[in-house]
Amino acid sequence: MSRFIGNLKIWQKFALVLALVLPMVVIPTAIVVKTTWTSLRTAQSESDAIEPAAATIRLIQLTQQHRGISAGFLSGDDGLKAAREAKQDEVQQALVKALTLSQRFSEERLKSHSDQLAKDWQAIAAAVSGKSLAPAESIQRHSDLIITELDLLDDIAADSQLALDPEAGSYYLVTAMISHLPRMTEGLGLARARGIAILTKGVASPEERASIGSLAERVRMHVRDGKTALQRAVDGDPSSQDALDQPAAAAFTAAESALKLVDENIVRPEAMKFPAHEYLDAMTRAIDQQFGLIATVNGALGAILSDRVQSTRRELLTIGVMVAALSALASWCIFVVTRITARHVDDALRLATALAQGDLTQ
């Protein structure tokens, strides 16, 4: 090996050293670049999920409203006919938008839920329009449809990797937006639908009272979980506190008011005297507050993810520029050092030859 190296030219020796040193630099750099690129792709995928998630949440809100209005309409309140027809059109438009936006994700489970949603909604809309459903059956079929919509929301979160967000602040925003808060609205929405059917009829069975009472407890559980998730989100990323504090306080206060309305006018009273239309309006206002909070969370999460995408892009660009600049500098230095060293060696050889020939002028 020593003889082999000794027989190499100067530039070849430098090239050998470079060949040995280069992997020590290239391999760690490649790992860093790959990791940063993966982070960028993940952040971009999560950011891409914000719009379809918002569209699906809007679809859930409108479907819940249609369920409530349909319950009153099928219970005998013909004054709700125009409102129900208008709401049906809104649901149809929201469904088309949500399914169109969700097509950017290719997971088979998500596609299956999309197909099922379109099919089930058409069947429910036709049945309610023709008054071929009993109120309880309508509520149940709407609820099954909303479960599928919630599954679609979960699929979007899973396929986009939102559900696996790596940072505490944004992770808890995701869990609040995808899980706790939508399920809280669904509990309140069910209480709205069942309550308006009872108030329209003017009578409630013990089973119906018990069912709504149990539903209220489930809502309280989701309220607690939602509060906890948002508090942990703020703890993980204090910059989101200003955006979340006021909407969260208003929404949770509205939720407690809605539960009190249910308890005082559906669960406990012997006679159902509260006006059905007032109950529908009051519950809708309270539930809309929850969806307002979800929209705020969605906006805060979108801002965080957008900043993360931009930051990761800048980081990747910085790494690329630094690697290119250092590589160019290293190549230039090697070239210059090799050239100078070779020239000095040539000068030394020329001088030695001259001296060996007796030329002392050199």
Helices (H), the chain: 2-6, 10-48, 50-74, 81-102, 108-129, 135-159, 168-175, 181-201, 206-236, 241-262, 276-356
Confidence of residue 357 (pLDDT cuts 50, 70, 90): confident
Confidence of residue 26 (pLDDT cuts 50, 70, 90): low
Confidence of residue 269 (pLDDT cuts 50, 70, 90): confident
pLDDT score, position 20: 64
User: Which backbone phi and psi does 301 adopt, to 5 degrees?
Assistant: -65, -40
Q: Give, as one character, the DSSP assignment of residue 167.
A: S
Question: What are 17's two structure tokens?
Answer: 């050293």
pLDDT score, position 318: 79
Percent of the chain with pLDDT over 90: 49
Nearest alpha carbon to residue 154 among 189, 113, 190: 113
Q: How far apart are CA 42 and CA 147, in angstroms?
A: 27
Q: Is a pLDDT exceeding 70 seen at residue 18?
A: no
Q: How far apart are CA 175 and CA 230, in angstroms?
A: 9
Q: How far apart are CA 262 and CA 258, in angstroms?
A: 6
Residue environment code for 163-181, b if the CB has 16+ CB neighbours within 10 A, otherwise e: bebeeebbbbbbbbbbbbb
Q: Is 106 helix (H, G, I), strand (E, B) or coil?
A: coil
Q: How far apart are CA 69 and CA 328, in angstroms?
A: 70
Name the helix (H) or strand (E) containing 84.
helix 81-102
Domains and CATH numbers, the chain: 52-161 (1.20.120), 165-312 (1.20.120)
Q: Is a pLDDT exceeding 80 seen at residue 331?
A: no
> 188-208 pLDDT, tens per residue?
999 999 999 899 888 888 888
Question: What are 109's two structure tokens?
Answer: 């489970």
CB 175 within 8 Å of CB 277: no
Q: Is a pLDDT exceeding 90 seen at residue 281?
A: yes
Confidence of residue 124 (pLDDT cuts 50, 70, 90): very high
pLDDT score, position 8: 61
- Mean of the pLDDT values across residues 57-81? 93
| 324 Cβ contact list (under 8 Å, min separation 6) | none
Phi-psi region of 174 (alpha: psi -120 to 50; beta: other; left: phi over 0): alpha
**Residue labelled with tokens 């020329």:** 350
